[in-house]
Structure 1
Amino acid sequence: MKKVLTIIVACLLMMNASSVYAANAKTVPAVKTTAAAPKPITLTINYEKAELNPGPVLQNNTIYLPLSALSKMGITVIIGADKTTLTLKKQWNSVVIALGAATIKVNNETEKLAQPTVKINGALYVPSAILSKYFGKGVRWDNKTKVLSLIDFDSQLHLALQRNDLAYFGKLLNDGLNATETIDLILKYQQDAAWIQAALKAGADPNPYFYEAVISKQAGAVQALLDSGKVDLHSTPPIMGENSYLSQAFKIYTVYGYDSQGKRKSFKAPRSYEIAEMLVAHGLQATSTDAYFAMAERETEWFDWMLGHGADPNGETLKMVTVDESHNAIAFYDLLTAVDRPATQKLIVSQYMVTGWNPSPENMKNLEMLVLKYNASLSPLSQPQLDRLLYLAQSNNMQALTDALVAAGAK
């Protein structure tokens, strides 16, 4: 009996222990798991880590920047009196944007905005695309590493040029620097052809700044641009009027640029046969207008060169020189101010006016060369004009020219 009682008690104890375990199992709460906090954005400005408070934010798959980031990129930020309107300015660009607006004003022109300006924790934020689209800044986002890279291309390009750091220039190009626009600054810093070649390799269009390369007489740059095979020598910028690139190689210019410290400077760019020869080697021929400019400036060698490289001795130009014999006066014009436009004038007539007014040795030599070496017809000249030239030829003991004038009817 005692043995049976012991077994019953043991069974009861086991049942009680199971009940307690079951009860405890019901009261233990389930373990809750939480998602990992988003990885903070690492910001770099011009390749150096930057700490901003508040910092950039990723929201709705858009990177938003605090206003301090814009200031760091050289953009002037003006907050309107209503605290919801922003005006962003950099050089010639002006952007006006309102909080939450779907449009934006860029230099007084309204455009649609993909993502609006927002307010986060009381601070105004703008979508990062504004930096790249309207101000030409570099914006690179690595979603895997959560690194946002901002690059002020303008200041960094100046820095690369001042340091003569071609490798850094290549890095900027690789990160999105506008290759075509770099050619302008490369020329202003008078860097060598390797810089032009790097820009061309990155996809630069050689045409927009070819004019600057020619007038600044940077032969290495001109050659590099021509070697691209993409320069259209017959399509010239409006600033050239009807001048050819050969006229630009002939003319003397004062050009503005930068020294190695980034300070503005000016330098005189002389005439360049080297560049003229490059242009001819790539298919450009001189025109009567090119020859006229050399003749008007009494540059005998250049006049000869132009006539020997395609200029028509019997051609005509816009009427750019006139003589008022009653008032004993001569007037010169350029292509933009040519008198009686679109009236034209034969090259030999222009030569007569210049020589008849000032029979200098250079002008007499040009007349002789035009008539004898290049066989310009004297028929466009009037009888009084022929007679005047005959008198000048005889006075200067120029027998061959005298004979040619007599043969043409001069008395």
Structure 2
Amino acid sequence: MKKLLCWFLLLCTLTTGFPRISDAAAEQLIAVTINGDKQFYDQHPLQFNGAVVVPLRAIFTSLGATLQYDTKTQTITAATDVINVVLQVGSKTAKVNNKPAKLSQAAVIIKGSTYVPVRFIAEAFGADVKWDAARNTVVIHYVNSDRLQTAISKGDLKQFTALLKLASPDTATSALKLLIANKKDAQWAKVALDAGGSVVKPYNYFAEAIILRQMDEIRTMLETGMVNPTTAPRTAQKISYIGLAQTHYTTPIMDPSSMTIIPVKNSEPSMELAQLLYDFGFKADNIDAVLALSNSKNDWLDWILSHGADPNGETMKLVKLEGPNDNSIHFYHPLSTPFPYVKQKLIDVAYAVSSWGPSLENMRNLDLLIVKYGADLSPLTQAQKDRLLELASSNNMSPLAEALVKAGAMKQVY
């Protein structure tokens, strides 16, 4: 009889398979609540190897994330405006905003459906996760943009503060964007900054606002202390923030009502914006001066040389004369110059531009650099000085001609 019982128990073990949900869990299904609302999924959450796993698409949708799933590699990519999560079925290593992260339980496929570990996913998106054993429920508190916007719209700073105490730094960054759009003051901004928010990391919203000439948003960022010359990183364009204000941009923009691309926005150079940046401590630099020389902008060169650029300064080589008689010129962007380690003085740039194209605007820039700001002419060769003297004389620019003669230039006798 005992042998028969043993064989019966063994048979039960072999036929039930594994892994197996506990009897208690089978009797009482696992529930998930987000901000107090019970979630209803097509497939029920399961307990797998001691961790609660939930249907892939359902949890990301609940957290407001977009989802991509590569069936070939079984790679899952989910993203909000500030958080990007990548994980692979069977792997206990994921990436959150491109940084490695460890999982206690990998994503799994059960009965043809993909499940992901609810705690890791929720926490990756900045949510607070607790297990309510009495109710067999995963309790998620998630601070999203809608809840933050509600507090902002009501002017409820206390509620806004309470929400951000539960939020991740990435969510605090989203909060800063909402504050900018709603033109809230420094008191509100300080709460988001204290919660770890940033308008320059991981994405530089400050630079984007400058490129799009969003004056109100830029002023809010500066006045509330969201950004300053110390915290602002180097721009992706390798020019200064004042350089961004000086540069013309043509940018496709999104219509928020229809979520479609609409005709481009032209961002003209803005000295008003440059002055605003300067008033908050940002300075012009020598690359800004090269841009003004290359674009034949007299007003910009004058402003830049009086707001931070050095008339005797140098940059990477961005301008090059070519041809048998220097009759060809190339202008390079700091991102794409083939001479990133070759130094070039501003006076060399001014010579190249005015010698190649001796327009009135280019000659006035040369005059600004040499006469008004006293640029040293020693980097120029004798032939270059003589060439500039010839141009100055033909344009009746006496002060410039005198400065060139004083530096050793000589009139050519033909």
Alpha-carbon distance in structure 2 between the residues aligned to 1:269 and 1:193:
22
Long gaps (5+) in structure 1: 1-34
Give the partner amino acid of 1:270: E
Relative to structure 1, the CA distance from residue 109 to residue 160 in structure 2 (aligned partners, 3 Å threshold; closer, same or farther) is closer
Relative to structure 1, the CA distance from residue 106 to residue 368 in structure 2 (aligned partners, 3 Å threshold; closer, same or farther) is same
Q: TM-score, normalised by structure 2?
A: 0.69
Matched, 1:254 2:250: yes
Relative to structure 1, the CA distance from residue 89 to residue 150 in structure 2 (aligned partners, 3 Å threshold; closer, same or farther) is farther
Following superposition, the deviation at residue 149 of structure 1 comes to 4.5
Relative to structure 1, the CA distance from residue 116 to residue 179 in structure 2 (aligned partners, 3 Å threshold; closer, same or farther) is closer
Q: TM-score, normalised by structure 1?
A: 0.70
Asked whether the 8 Å contact 1:192–1:220 carries over to 2, the reply is no
Asked whether the 8 Å contact 2:229–2:282 carries over to 1, the reply is no
Following superposition, the deviation at residue 68 of structure 1 comes to 5.7
2:275 alignment counterpart? 277
2:333 alignment counterpart? 334
Write the mapping of 1:109-188 to structure 2, written as runs, cut at 5 A: 112-115=102-105, 125-133=115-123, 136=125, 138=127, 140-141=129-130, 143=132, 146=137, 148-149=139-140, 176=167, 178-179=170-171, 181-182=173-174
Following superposition, the deviation at residue 277 of structure 1 comes to 1.9
Following superposition, the deviation at residue 148 of structure 1 comes to 3.8
Following superposition, the deviation at residue 334 of structure 1 comes to 2.1
Give the partner amino acid of 1:244: S
- Secondary structure at the aligned position of 1:240 is classed as coil
Matched, 1:212 2:208: yes
TM-superposition CA deviations, 1:64-90 (whole Å, max 9, x none): 32346246444356789xxxx965333
Alpha-carbon distance in structure 1 between the residues aligned to 2:27 and 2:398:
96
Following superposition, the deviation at residue 356 of structure 1 comes to 1.1
- Secondary structure at the aligned position of 1:194 is classed as coil
Long gaps (5+) in structure 2: 1-23
Relative to structure 1, the CA distance from residue 132 to residue 394 in structure 2 (aligned partners, 3 Å threshold; closer, same or farther) is same
Q: 2:236 aligns with which of 212, 236, 239?
A: 239
Alpha-carbon distance in structure 2 between the residues aligned to 1:166 and 1:86:
44
Following superposition, the deviation at residue 308 of structure 1 comes to 0.7
1:7 alignment counterpart? none
Following superposition, the deviation at residue 408 of structure 1 comes to 2.4
Asked whether the 8 Å contact 2:176–2:192 carries over to 1, the reply is no
Give the partner amino acid of 1:259: D
TM-superposition CA deviations, 1:356-400 (whole Å, max 9, x none): 111112111111111221112223222222222222222222222
Alpha-carbon distance in structure 1 between the residues aligned to 2:255 and 2:375:
48
Asked whether the 8 Å contact 1:355–1:364 carries over to 2, the reply is yes
Asked whether the 8 Å contact 1:233–1:284 carries over to 2, the reply is no
Alpha-carbon distance in structure 2 between the residues aligned to 1:122 and 1:351:
69
Cα RMSD of the aligned pairs, angstroms, is 4.4
Alpha-carbon distance in structure 2 between the residues aligned to 1:341 and 1:322:
13
Write the mapping of 1:362-381 to structure 2, written as runs, cut at 5 A: 362-381=361-380
1:354 alignment counterpart? 353
Alpha-carbon distance in structure 2 between the residues aligned to 1:298 and 1:232:
28
Asked whether the 8 Å contact 1:62–1:127 carries over to 2, the reply is yes
TM-superposition CA deviations, 1:204-227 (whole Å, max 9, x none): 123321322332322233233333
Give the partner amino acid of 1:409: G
Give the partner amino acid of 1:387: D
Matched, 1:65 2:54: yes
Aligned length: 360
Asked whether the 8 Å contact 1:182–1:199 carries over to 2, the reply is no
Alpha-carbon distance in structure 1 between the residues aligned to 2:248 and 2:283:
20
1:194 alignment counterpart? 184
Query: Greater CA deviation, 366-375 or 49-58?
Result: 49-58
- Secondary structure at the aligned position of 2:315 is classed as strand
